[in-house]
Structure 1
Protein backbone atom coordinates (compact mmCIF):
# COMPACT_ATOMS: atom_id res chain seq x y z
CA UNK A 1 0.00 0.00 0.00
CA UNK A 2 1.23 3.48 -0.89
CA UNK A 3 -0.45 6.74 0.02
CA UNK A 4 0.11 10.40 -0.74
CA UNK A 5 -1.92 13.59 -0.72
CA UNK A 6 -2.78 16.49 -2.99
CA UNK A 7 -3.42 19.93 -1.47
CA UNK A 8 -5.70 22.28 -3.37
CA UNK A 9 -6.34 25.94 -2.59
CA UNK A 10 -9.73 26.87 -3.99
CA UNK A 11 -10.70 30.47 -4.59
CA UNK A 12 -14.40 30.19 -5.44
CA UNK A 13 -17.54 28.96 -3.69
CA UNK A 14 -18.15 26.27 -6.34
CA UNK A 15 -15.16 25.19 -8.39
CA UNK A 16 -13.93 22.21 -10.41
CA UNK A 17 -10.23 21.22 -10.53
CA UNK A 18 -8.78 18.53 -12.77
CA UNK A 19 -6.33 16.48 -10.69
CA UNK A 20 -5.59 13.68 -13.17
CA UNK A 21 -1.98 14.73 -13.80
CA UNK A 22 -1.23 14.94 -10.07
CA UNK A 23 -2.74 11.48 -9.50
CA UNK A 24 -0.73 10.04 -12.39
CA UNK A 25 2.49 11.53 -10.92
CA UNK A 26 1.71 9.88 -7.58
CA UNK A 27 1.11 6.51 -9.27
CA UNK A 28 4.51 6.78 -11.02
CA UNK A 29 6.15 7.85 -7.73
CA UNK A 30 4.70 4.80 -5.97
CA UNK A 31 6.54 2.39 -8.22
CA UNK A 32 3.51 0.08 -8.16
CA UNK A 33 3.04 -1.52 -11.57
CA UNK A 34 -0.29 -3.30 -11.12
CA UNK A 35 -3.09 -2.56 -8.69
CA UNK A 36 -5.78 0.01 -7.96
CA UNK A 37 -5.61 3.72 -7.23
CA UNK A 38 -8.28 5.40 -5.09
CA UNK A 39 -8.68 9.16 -4.91
CA UNK A 40 -10.73 10.38 -1.94
CA UNK A 41 -11.54 13.81 -0.55
CA UNK A 42 -11.21 14.46 3.18
CA UNK A 43 -14.05 17.01 3.24
CA UNK A 44 -17.82 16.60 3.40
CA UNK A 45 -18.56 19.65 1.24
CA UNK A 46 -16.32 18.57 -1.64
CA UNK A 47 -16.56 15.81 -4.19
CA UNK A 48 -14.51 13.63 -6.49
CA UNK A 49 -15.95 12.68 -9.84
CA UNK A 50 -14.83 11.51 -13.28
CA UNK A 51 -15.94 13.19 -16.47
CA UNK A 52 -14.81 14.73 -19.73
CA UNK A 53 -12.83 17.97 -19.48
CA UNK A 54 -14.84 20.46 -21.50
CA UNK A 55 -15.54 23.98 -20.26
CA UNK A 56 -19.11 23.78 -21.58
CA UNK A 57 -19.68 20.45 -19.79
CA UNK A 58 -18.26 21.81 -16.52
CA UNK A 59 -20.67 24.73 -16.86
CA UNK A 60 -23.59 22.39 -17.59
CA UNK A 61 -22.77 20.24 -14.55
CA UNK A 62 -22.44 23.32 -12.34
CA UNK A 63 -25.76 24.75 -13.57
CA UNK A 64 -27.50 21.38 -13.15
CA UNK A 65 -26.30 21.07 -9.54
CA UNK A 66 -27.38 24.66 -8.82
CA UNK A 67 -30.89 23.91 -10.16
CA UNK A 68 -31.08 20.62 -8.29
CA UNK A 69 -29.73 22.07 -5.02
CA UNK A 70 -30.81 25.74 -4.87
CA UNK A 71 -29.11 28.10 -2.41
CA UNK A 72 -32.39 29.68 -1.28
CA UNK A 73 -34.16 26.50 -0.16
CA UNK A 74 -35.02 26.39 3.58
CA UNK A 75 -32.59 23.59 4.53
CA UNK A 76 -32.73 22.24 8.10
CA UNK A 77 -28.91 22.34 8.20
CA UNK A 78 -28.90 26.15 7.78
CA UNK A 79 -29.25 26.84 11.51
CA UNK A 80 -27.23 27.38 14.65
CA UNK A 81 -25.25 24.27 15.54
CA UNK A 82 -24.50 24.12 19.26
CA UNK A 83 -21.65 21.62 18.79
CA UNK A 84 -19.86 23.99 16.40
CA UNK A 85 -20.85 27.24 18.09
CA UNK A 86 -21.79 28.76 14.74
CA UNK A 87 -24.41 28.75 12.04
CA UNK A 88 -24.18 26.02 9.42
CA UNK A 89 -24.21 27.94 6.15
CA UNK A 90 -23.19 25.14 3.83
CA UNK A 91 -26.08 22.70 3.35
CA UNK A 92 -25.81 22.93 -0.43
CA UNK A 93 -22.16 21.89 -0.26
CA UNK A 94 -23.04 18.74 1.66
CA UNK A 95 -25.84 17.80 -0.74
CA UNK A 96 -23.80 18.47 -3.91
CA UNK A 97 -20.97 16.38 -2.43
CA UNK A 98 -23.45 13.57 -1.80
CA UNK A 99 -24.42 13.69 -5.49
CA UNK A 100 -20.87 13.73 -6.89
CA UNK A 101 -19.45 11.23 -4.43
CA UNK A 102 -16.25 11.47 -2.43
CA UNK A 103 -13.94 9.09 -4.31
CA UNK A 104 -13.07 7.26 -7.51
CA UNK A 105 -11.08 4.12 -8.35
CA UNK A 106 -9.00 3.19 -11.38
CA UNK A 107 -6.98 0.08 -12.21
CA UNK A 108 -3.24 0.41 -12.67
CA UNK A 109 -1.66 -1.83 -15.31
CA UNK A 110 2.03 -1.70 -16.21
CA UNK A 111 2.44 1.44 -14.07
CA UNK A 112 -0.31 3.42 -15.83
CA UNK A 113 -3.81 4.41 -14.75
CA UNK A 114 -6.30 2.71 -17.05
CA UNK A 115 -9.00 5.24 -17.97
CA UNK A 116 -10.97 6.22 -21.04
CA UNK A 117 -9.49 8.80 -23.39
CA UNK A 118 -11.91 11.50 -22.25
CA UNK A 119 -11.94 10.61 -18.53
CA UNK A 120 -10.45 13.18 -16.18
CA UNK A 121 -10.46 13.10 -12.37
CA UNK A 122 -12.14 16.15 -10.89
CA UNK A 123 -11.97 17.60 -7.41
CA UNK A 124 -15.20 19.54 -6.81
CA UNK A 125 -15.37 22.41 -4.33
CA UNK A 126 -18.85 23.25 -3.03
CA UNK A 127 -18.06 25.43 0.00
CA UNK A 128 -15.00 27.50 -0.87
CA UNK A 129 -12.72 29.19 -0.90
CA UNK A 130 -10.63 26.92 1.26
CA UNK A 131 -7.53 24.77 1.59
CA UNK A 132 -8.50 21.20 0.72
CA UNK A 133 -6.85 17.80 0.67
CA UNK A 134 -7.25 14.69 -1.44
CA UNK A 135 -5.79 11.38 -0.32
CA UNK A 136 -4.46 9.03 -3.00
CA UNK A 137 -4.20 5.36 -2.00
CA UNK A 138 -2.51 2.82 -4.22
CA UNK A 139 -3.06 -0.86 -3.52
CA UNK A 140 -0.73 -3.31 -5.19
CA UNK A 141 -2.55 -6.15 -6.87
Structure 2
Protein backbone atom coordinates (compact mmCIF):
# COMPACT_ATOMS: atom_id res chain seq x y z
CA UNK A 1 0.00 0.00 0.00
CA UNK A 2 1.15 3.57 -0.71
CA UNK A 3 -0.22 6.76 0.84
CA UNK A 4 0.95 10.13 -0.50
CA UNK A 5 0.41 13.40 1.37
CA UNK A 6 1.21 16.74 -0.28
CA UNK A 7 2.07 19.56 2.10
CA UNK A 8 2.75 23.28 1.65
CA UNK A 9 5.01 25.51 3.69
CA UNK A 10 5.59 29.25 3.43
CA UNK A 11 9.17 30.23 4.17
CA UNK A 12 9.87 33.68 5.53
CA UNK A 13 13.62 34.07 4.89
CA UNK A 14 16.22 33.22 2.26
CA UNK A 15 17.65 30.52 4.56
CA UNK A 16 15.25 28.86 6.94
CA UNK A 17 14.95 25.50 8.66
CA UNK A 18 11.28 24.65 9.20
CA UNK A 19 10.51 21.66 11.41
CA UNK A 20 8.13 19.21 9.72
CA UNK A 21 8.66 16.33 12.14
CA UNK A 22 5.13 16.42 13.56
CA UNK A 23 3.58 16.46 10.07
CA UNK A 24 5.59 13.35 9.15
CA UNK A 25 4.62 11.54 12.35
CA UNK A 26 0.95 12.39 11.78
CA UNK A 27 1.01 11.29 8.11
CA UNK A 28 2.49 7.92 9.10
CA UNK A 29 -0.06 7.39 11.87
CA UNK A 30 -2.98 8.34 9.58
CA UNK A 31 -1.75 6.15 6.71
CA UNK A 32 -2.81 2.89 8.31
CA UNK A 33 0.48 1.34 7.22
CA UNK A 34 2.03 -0.78 9.95
CA UNK A 35 5.42 -1.73 8.52
CA UNK A 36 7.40 -0.16 5.70
CA UNK A 37 9.08 3.17 5.08
CA UNK A 38 8.25 6.85 4.95
CA UNK A 39 9.91 9.07 2.34
CA UNK A 40 9.89 12.85 2.79
CA UNK A 41 10.87 14.79 -0.33
CA UNK A 42 11.09 18.40 -1.48
CA UNK A 43 9.46 19.32 -4.78
CA UNK A 44 12.12 21.96 -5.45
CA UNK A 45 15.76 22.18 -6.52
CA UNK A 46 16.55 25.10 -4.19
CA UNK A 47 15.03 23.59 -1.05
CA UNK A 48 15.86 20.36 0.70
CA UNK A 49 14.73 18.00 3.41
CA UNK A 50 17.22 17.07 6.08
CA UNK A 51 17.57 15.55 9.52
CA UNK A 52 19.51 16.99 12.41
CA UNK A 53 19.23 17.92 16.05
CA UNK A 54 16.95 20.83 16.93
CA UNK A 55 19.38 23.28 18.48
CA UNK A 56 19.37 26.96 17.53
CA UNK A 57 23.16 27.13 17.82
CA UNK A 58 23.43 24.20 15.40
CA UNK A 59 21.08 25.97 12.96
CA UNK A 60 23.46 28.95 12.99
CA UNK A 61 26.46 26.68 12.42
CA UNK A 62 24.73 24.90 9.52
CA UNK A 63 23.86 28.20 7.85
CA UNK A 64 27.44 29.49 8.26
CA UNK A 65 28.93 26.27 6.89
CA UNK A 66 26.59 26.22 3.87
CA UNK A 67 27.28 29.92 3.21
CA UNK A 68 31.03 29.20 3.17
CA UNK A 69 30.55 26.32 0.74
CA UNK A 70 28.08 28.20 -1.51
CA UNK A 71 28.39 31.94 -0.84
CA UNK A 72 25.85 34.41 -2.13
CA UNK A 73 28.48 36.30 -4.11
CA UNK A 74 30.66 34.17 -6.38
CA UNK A 75 31.36 33.76 -10.08
CA UNK A 76 28.53 31.31 -10.76
CA UNK A 77 27.77 30.33 -14.37
CA UNK A 78 24.12 30.21 -13.27
CA UNK A 79 24.31 33.96 -12.51
CA UNK A 80 24.47 34.79 -16.20
CA UNK A 81 21.69 35.18 -18.74
CA UNK A 82 19.80 31.91 -19.29
CA UNK A 83 18.17 31.80 -22.74
CA UNK A 84 15.90 28.95 -21.65
CA UNK A 85 14.43 31.17 -18.87
CA UNK A 86 14.73 34.47 -20.70
CA UNK A 87 16.26 35.94 -17.54
CA UNK A 88 19.34 35.86 -15.37
CA UNK A 89 19.48 33.06 -12.82
CA UNK A 90 20.35 34.42 -9.40
CA UNK A 91 19.80 31.44 -7.16
CA UNK A 92 22.90 29.31 -7.77
CA UNK A 93 23.71 29.19 -4.02
CA UNK A 94 20.26 27.72 -3.34
CA UNK A 95 20.78 24.97 -5.90
CA UNK A 96 24.23 24.14 -4.51
CA UNK A 97 23.06 24.11 -0.87
CA UNK A 98 20.25 21.73 -1.77
CA UNK A 99 22.75 19.50 -3.53
CA UNK A 100 24.90 19.45 -0.37
CA UNK A 101 22.04 18.68 2.04
CA UNK A 102 19.87 16.51 -0.17
CA UNK A 103 16.21 16.73 -1.02
CA UNK A 104 14.85 13.65 0.73
CA UNK A 105 15.00 11.54 3.89
CA UNK A 106 13.71 8.04 4.60
CA UNK A 107 12.70 6.45 7.91
CA UNK A 108 11.48 2.94 8.74
CA UNK A 109 7.86 2.50 9.78
CA UNK A 110 7.44 -0.14 12.48
CA UNK A 111 4.09 -1.04 14.06
CA UNK A 112 2.42 2.06 12.60
CA UNK A 113 5.04 4.55 13.85
CA UNK A 114 7.90 6.31 12.09
CA UNK A 115 11.18 5.29 13.70
CA UNK A 116 12.40 8.82 14.38
CA UNK A 117 14.73 9.13 17.35
CA UNK A 118 14.82 11.80 20.07
CA UNK A 119 17.56 13.98 18.59
CA UNK A 120 16.30 13.66 15.01
CA UNK A 121 14.24 16.59 13.83
CA UNK A 122 13.10 16.70 10.20
CA UNK A 123 13.51 20.02 8.44
CA UNK A 124 12.22 21.51 5.27
CA UNK A 125 15.35 23.52 4.40
CA UNK A 126 14.71 26.72 2.45
CA UNK A 127 17.69 28.06 0.49
CA UNK A 128 15.98 30.53 -1.89
CA UNK A 129 13.14 32.11 0.07
CA UNK A 130 10.82 33.48 0.98
CA UNK A 131 8.52 31.30 -1.10
CA UNK A 132 5.51 29.03 -0.93
CA UNK A 133 6.94 25.53 -1.14
CA UNK A 134 5.69 21.97 -1.56
CA UNK A 135 6.94 18.74 -0.05
CA UNK A 136 5.67 15.18 -0.12
CA UNK A 137 5.29 12.53 2.56
CA UNK A 138 4.94 9.08 1.04
CA UNK A 139 4.31 6.11 3.32
CA UNK A 140 4.85 2.70 1.70
CA UNK A 141 4.35 -0.74 3.17
CA UNK A 142 1.73 -3.05 4.56
TM over 0.5: yes
TM-score, L = length of structure 2: 0.97
RMSD: 0.8
Q: Structure 1 stretches of 5 or more lacking a match?
A: none
CA deviation digits over 1:47-100, x for unaligned, max 9?
Answer: 111000000001100111011111111101101111111110000000000000
* Residues matched between the structures, number: 141
Distance 1:127 1:67 in 2: 16
Distance 2:7 2:54 in 1: 19
Provide the secondary structure at the position in 1 that maps to 2:64: helix
Q: Structure 2 stretches of 5 or more lacking a match?
A: none
Distance 2:135 2:67 in 1: 24
Match of 2:53 in 1: 52
Are 2:15 and 1:14 equivalent residues in the alignment?
A: yes
CA deviation digits over 1:80-122, x for unaligned, max 9?
Answer: 1111111100000000000000000000111111122100111
Match of 1:114 in 2: 115
